[in-house]
A = this chain, B = another copy of it.
């Protein structure tokens, strides 16, 4: 843009133009031009976020961030990709995580991960002939977004018997099947750690997936919002970007989008609607398209942008806030790990129920073998058998879980998704009530 170029020229070379500053009379963005926020409004917002500030490094970090925002205006529209300084921080955080370079220009900050997913679907889908490979079971954002944009969901099934493993032979089979129906498969969605399935992919398996996408020319859409949620010592999160780069694949080899959110991890700031996608291996023309889509809603909310930079750059050893931060983080993650274990064990002790480990994410997805009598009763009530079970559970115990049919499952199998999020002191009650309910349910319907 001409005004940006002139701005830079004036900065680099004062006196190079017949004016000494650019006067922006083009956009209705008051605080970018020095209008001060209404004090009362900001006081209330700050108090709602946090009632008291003690950490000196928090104050320092806030000033650092404010200095990265043009005019320190947190109330101004930002660059549609997000504030450049925050994208620098995020790129540095990705580099520290992966030990491979990250470019701030590849980062698009969004109101949570969902709008980023919608943007990619909008870009990839132009008709029902465009297909997207999605895991079954899957977080229904993907099916909803594909439907919204008029594309075709090409399902691939995760293998419950191998801990919700992802077999490339299954990917290949479903891809060929879709091709034979005239579907142009554009991309592969992988959720790692898995939602609703809770598995953490082995690095080896990730390499196979990367190779599959490279060979088939698919965009790899990596939902990595649970990257901080790993609960078992034998598994570790590896980003698909790190795995691809470690295989020697660069920008020209594979198109890769990684989604991250402030809503998950140990932070769990769902209400702040912050997130980003890192888009690599796409052409300048496609990037321009992504940018245009980002511009339609002007920018994502600045608090969410700031929070996205914080989760990718938390306090470090030696910082005043580090010990408290670490205690909070470890407290949350170790408690989640204990809750996952307790619920998994309880579920596996139930008649006809098997449940894989929650290695990561926030969910257990047990398989329930329902008696024929229960299936018949569900049919009589014109509801799916798993929904029938979940409704009875809720009515009897007050426990709310989600039927597997909302996520997709192998036909004839029945599941539900149970989060590990109720506070730890509630877990014993959940275990007891669930166990008692299940026993009486089976007694009522046992064949």
Contact = CB atoms under 8 A, between A and B. Distances in A.
A435 interface: no
Interface in A24-78: 24-51, 53-55, 57-59, 61-62, 65-66, 73-78
B399 A23 contact: yes
A115 B297 contact: yes
Nearest to A314: B40
This protein's copies in its complex: 2
Given A2-B391, A43-B53, A299-B271, A34 B423 contact: yes
Nearest to A426: B23
Contact of A433 (B10, B19, B37, B321): B19
B73 A298 contact: no
Interface residues of A, number: 119
Nearest to A329: B38
A380 interface: no
Contact of A65 (B48, B394, B423): B48
A332 B35 contact: yes
B303 A301 contact: yes
A328 interface: yes
Contacts of A22: 394, 398-400
Given A31-B270, A75-B270, A41 B303 contact: no
A325 interface: yes
A291 B42 CA distance: 30
Contact of A59 (B47, B74, B395): B47
A273 B40 CA distance: 18
Interface of A: 2-3, 6, 10, 17-51, 53-55, 57-59, 61-62, 65-66, 73-78, 111-112, 114-115, 118, 141, 144-145, 148, 195, 263-264, 266-273, 296-304, 306-307, 310-311, 314-315, 321, 324-325, 328-329, 332, 361-363, 391, 394-402, 417-419, 421-423, 426, 429-430, 433
23 contacts: A3-B394, A25-B401, A26-B402, A28-B264, A28-B361, A28-B419, A31-B270, A33-B422, A35-B332, A38-B267, A39-B325, A40-B310, A43-B54, A45-B307, A46-B53, A48-B65, A48-B74, A75-B268, A114-B296, A114-B297, A115-B297, A148-B296, A301-B303
Given A35-B268, A41-B311, A45-B46, 9 more contacts: A26-B402, A28-B270, A29-B268, A43-B54, A45-B50, A46-B53, A111-B297, A112-B298, A273-B301
